[in-house]
């Protein structure tokens, strides 16, 4: 049997797949449904990929469907199929596209739980993101590189790089909370610091 051809047309709002309903009868067929959802998000036209993201019906997927769809579809293709009423998942897909270099500052995200800029800052490092395939994710660890003094410091002789005081605690807590799921469910730890100065000073 040859490779499957991605569907065309518009996704339907049909009832749950039979493979999922079969689980209620004791037949563990969710892996087939999970794989189908993953392939739709990865390889199907944007309308079907977005529908898979909105359903978010996977049990143990290769990667989150929002990340899968964003890895292979530009925002312009996905946006028409992710209206504001789908909730925060629209913002998740948008930020995944931003992480891959898209500038979405013109996009209005009504429900955005992150509140992050919709484009990469000039001081943010550029690295190759994970390559998501049909069956696995290739996510090599980028080389750490060498640490060098920042020549673009705005005020190397003044307050630049001076640790910020209690007024920055809210921001530090917000940064730590981003990794709370991992630190609470593992032996990992997270710290956050703030400095007085610009983004370049903090880099």
Question: HEC profile for the chain?
Answer: CCCCCCCCCCCCCCCCCHHHHHHHHCCCCHHHHHHHHHHHHHHCCHHHHHHHHHHCCCCCCCCCHHHHHHHHCCHHHHHHHCCHHHCCHHHHHHHHHHHCCCCCCCCCCCCCCCCCCCCCCCCCCCCCCCEECCCCEECCCCCCCCCCCCCCCCCCCCCCCEECCHHHHHHHHHHHHHCHHHHHCCCCCCCCCCEECCHHHHC
Q: Range with the lowest mean pLDDT among 35-39, 46-50, 183-187?
A: 183-187
pLDDT at 68 over 90: yes
Residue 198 reports pLDDT greater than 50: yes
Q: Can you tell me the distance from the alpha carbon of 101 to that of 120, in angstroms, rounded to the nearest whole number? A: 7
pLDDT band for position 54 (50/70/90)?
A: very high
Inform me whether the pLDDT recorded for 1 exceeds 50: no
Residue recorded with tokens 């009504």: 110
Q: Give pLDDT, residue 63.
A: 92
Strand-pair partners of 196: 162
pLDDT at residue 150, as a whole number: 59
Average of pLDDT values for 20-34?
A: 73
Q: How confident is the model at residue 47 (pLDDT cuts 50, 70, 90)?
A: very high
- Does pLDDT of 111 surpass 70? yes
- Asked whether the beta carbons of 34 and 23 are under 8 A apart, the reply is no
- pLDDT tens column, 130-145: 899 999 999 887 777 7
Query: What is the per-residue pLDDT across 161-176, written as a single tens digit (0 to 9) for each?
Result: 566 677 788 888 888 8
| Predicted confidence (pLDDT) at residue 12 exceeds the cutoff of 60 | no
For the cut 90, the answer to whether the pLDDT of residue 89 exceeds it is: yes
Distance, CA of 64 to CA of 61 (rounded, Å): 7
d(CA 195, CA 203): 10
Q: Give the highest mean pLDDT range of 61-70, 118-127, 146-155, 173-182.
A: 61-70
The answer to whether 90 touches 84, Cβ cutoff 8 Å, is yes
Pick the closest to residue 72 from 126, 116, 10, 134 (CA basis): 134
């Amino acid at each position: 049997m040859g490779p499957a051809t991605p569907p065309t047309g518009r996704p339907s709002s049909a009832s749950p797949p039979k493979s999922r309903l079969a689980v209620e009868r004791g037949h563990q067929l969710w892996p087939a449904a999970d794989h189908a959802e993953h392939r739709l998000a990865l390889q199907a036209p944007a309308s079907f990929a977005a529908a898979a993201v909105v359903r978010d019906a996977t049990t143990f997927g290769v990667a989150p469907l929002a990340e899968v769809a964003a890895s292979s579809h530009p925002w312009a293709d996905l946006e028409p199929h992710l209206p504001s009423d789908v909730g925060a998942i629209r913002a998740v897909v948008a930020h995944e596209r931003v992480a891959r270099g898209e500038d979405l500052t013109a996009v209005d995200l009504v429900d955005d739980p992150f509140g992050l800029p919709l484009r990469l800052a000039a001081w943010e490092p550029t690295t190759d993101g994970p390559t998501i395939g049909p069956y696995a994710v290739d996510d090599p660890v980028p080389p750490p590189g060498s640490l060098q003094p920042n020549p673009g410091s705005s005020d190397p002789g003044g307050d630049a790089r001076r640790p910020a005081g209690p007024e920055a605690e809210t921001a530090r807590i917000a940064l730590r909370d981003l990794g709370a799921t991992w630190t609470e469910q593992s032996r990992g730890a997270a710290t956050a610091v703030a400095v007085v100065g610009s983004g370049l000073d903090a880099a």
